[in-house]
Amino acid sequence: MRTSKFLISTLKEVPAEASVASHQLMLRAGLIRQLASGLYVWLPAGLRVLNKAENIIREEMDKSGALEINMPVVQPAELWQESGRWEKYGPELCRFRDRKENSFVLGPTHEEVVTWLASYEVKSYKQLPLNLYQIQTKFRDEVRPRFGVMRGREFVMKDAYSFHTNLESLHETYQLMYDTYNRIFTRMGLFFRPVEADTGSIGGNHSHEFQVLADAGEDIIVFSNESDYAANIEMAEAPMPAEERKAPAESLTKVATPDAHTVEEVAAFLKRDVSTVAKTLVVHGETPEGQDCLVMLVLRGDHELNEVKAEKIPGISAPLTFASEKEIQETLGALPGSLGPVGFKGRIIVDRAASVMSDFCTGANETGFHYTGANLVRDIPEFEVQDLRNIVAGDPSPDGKGTVILKHGIEVGQVFELGTKYSAAMGATVLDENGKNIPMEMGCYGIGVTRVIAAAIEQNHDDRGIIWPDALAPFQVALIPLNYGKSAQVTETADKLYEDLIQAGAEVLLDDRNERPGVKFADMELLGIPHIVIIGDKTLQEGAVEYEARKDLAKTKVPLTDIRNLLREKIGK
């Protein structure tokens, strides 16, 4: 490709809407343009990268034995009503009606459609296992699109769905996909880790996320400093403290704490550490009889509630909903900021770390008052202990080896064992060896293709621009002739080299624009092309050209006779 025939849409200045490096660079390098919130046009250079990523995924999926299909973006609402997600999915599911007033959705994922498909196509255990995948556009009306294509509303996803007669077969394919994902992200040159994950709204039993480690990531990943333990913070169990709860030493004393509403304010007012104050949160729940009720969650003041853990506890509403001020006032007679478990008649769940506190401070359920010297059992006879909090750096690792470290990650893929959740709900059954109808076991496996591009840039850039891993680069080689079209020897050399490399099957961008050298250097470096060759009269006098590696910007003079072979070796052509 010649730049004169290509669309080079680089920007000098950073558009105001971009805050993270990948978003800024994708706009500056001319890979994408924003059409509306969370919606992006992929420009030619960007699309080349996207296609590279898709092809790697396609090759590895095919190698694993998965079969590519294509399902519609638009899906009938009935399928979603059948699976039960019509109610559960919430407003990010974009719903609409067609001219006949029939309800449809824009597919945010395709479990329903693929299960419908499998129920039609698969009748016998002999056809299983089967793994179907597609690379296709999804739409989720995200509450808060941000960071460019990292969290867009419309995005490209590779989603695969596997079908099995038994769990053993499902485990096998799960492991196969796990290994395939490792190969895919390794080929893309990413620094990533598979981590244990929550199954979220898709539902299921067993799951790993593939996380690209980068500071801009929105997820927090928990690692052990001694073992290979790695999990999403949503999942990471905060172990029971080793120490025993001390016997009460103080008596329960009510103290006035005017205008102190947060744990920090109370701690500061009473001149004690936040970790000696118990934090009380009130959420909605259900009694075993099915009655709505309020449940108290008690945590140490310096700890954070883990909502995923909380909503998994039976009897607590999912999604987790906090009681409103009005509800709290009516039930407890006090406002949030002065709440506590002492004297509360309902269900009280105490976090493991909070369960070993003694002589702590907590709200008195009377606005403006707290207790000091509060103690479990003595002052709060009825309570249960659960893991409720986010693990923090320095806590013992959940696997018992070492302590934990927290890092940010970008979730680029996830593998799930779904079980029979969808097949049972939607009647996707097969006849087994005994002629019995059984629902198929299912797995599902996603990769955020557009997101992976952003993740790759987060991990690979410098102050001049993007540094593409070889496998994702829009072009492998950039040729920068200086004085192209004016100097005959430069023009001839550049054209010849260009033709040779094209013949060899290389992806080459020849910058034949009538621009000053600085402009060309800056553009090619911003665009992140891994291998750059500079062809100028000065070095040609010595029968040489210059080779620049984008990775480290190192320039070396290379004899003209060697440059073809050097490049072909670098790009493996």
In the region spanning residues 202 to 261, those forming contacts with RNA, defined by CB under 7 A, are 202, 209, 218-219
Query: Scanning residues 345 to 384, which ones bind RNA (CB under 7 A)?
Result: none
Is the CB of 54 or the CB of 142 nearer to RNA?
142
Asked if residue 549 binds RNA (CB under 7 A), the reply is no
Which listed range, 148-156, 336-344, 361-369, 399-407, lies at the site for RNA (CB under 7 A)?
148-156
Query: Scanning residues 417 to 446, which ones bind RNA (CB under 7 A)?
Result: 446
Query: Scanning residues 484 to 543, which ones bind RNA (CB under 7 A)?
Result: 486, 514-519, 521-523, 525-526, 534, 536-539
Which residues have CB under 8 Å from 249's CB, separation 6+?
Answer: 358, 359, 373
The minimum distance between CB 342 and RNA, in angstroms, equals 28
Asked if residue 548 binds RNA (CB under 7 A), the reply is yes
The minimum distance between CB 15 and RNA, in angstroms, equals 4
Q: Which of 60, 379, 395, 411 binds RNA (CB under 7 A)?
A: 411
CA distance 83 to 111: 9
Q: Which of 146, 183, 312, 408 binds RNA (CB under 7 A)?
A: 146
Q: Which of 4, 37, 81, 556 binds RNA (CB under 7 A)?
A: 37
Asked if residue 160 binds RNA (CB under 7 A), the reply is no
Write down the number of H helices and E strands in the chain: 15, 30
Which listed range, 10-18, 341-349, 395-403, 504-512, lies at the site for RNA (CB under 7 A)?
10-18
The minimum distance between CB 233 and RNA, in angstroms, equals 10
Which burial class, exposed, middle or buried, applies to 312 when counting CB atoms under 10 A from its CB (0-12, 13-18, 19+)? middle
Cα angle vertex 102, ends 97, 108, to 5°?
60
Among residues 497, 459, 454, 504, the alpha carbon closest in space to that of 478 is found at: 497
Query: Scanning residues 95 to 134, which ones bind RNA (CB under 7 A)?
Result: 109
Is the CB of 151 or the CB of 389 nearer to RNA?
151
Among residues 242, 229, 218, 241, the alpha carbon closest in space to that of 404 is found at: 229
Neighbours of 367 (CB within 10 A): 18
The minimum distance between CB 413 and RNA, in angstroms, equals 5
Q: Which of 137, 546, 566, 573 binds RNA (CB under 7 A)?
A: 546
What does the DSSP assignment read for 436-494?
-EEEPEEEEEEEEHHHHHHHHHHHSEETTEE---TTT-S-SEEEEETTTTTSHHHHHHH
Query: What is the residue whose two structure tokens read 């996380």?
Result: 211
Asked if residue 36 binds RNA (CB under 7 A), the reply is yes
Is the CB of 15 or the CB of 315 nearer to RNA?
15
What does each C-alpha distance from 570 to 183, 428, 543, 549 come to in angstroms?
A: 21, 50, 21, 10
CA distance 217 to 85: 28
Asked if residue 450 binds RNA (CB under 7 A), the reply is yes
Query: Scanning residues 58 to 87, which ones bind RNA (CB under 7 A)?
Result: none
Neighbours of 501 (CB within 10 A): 23
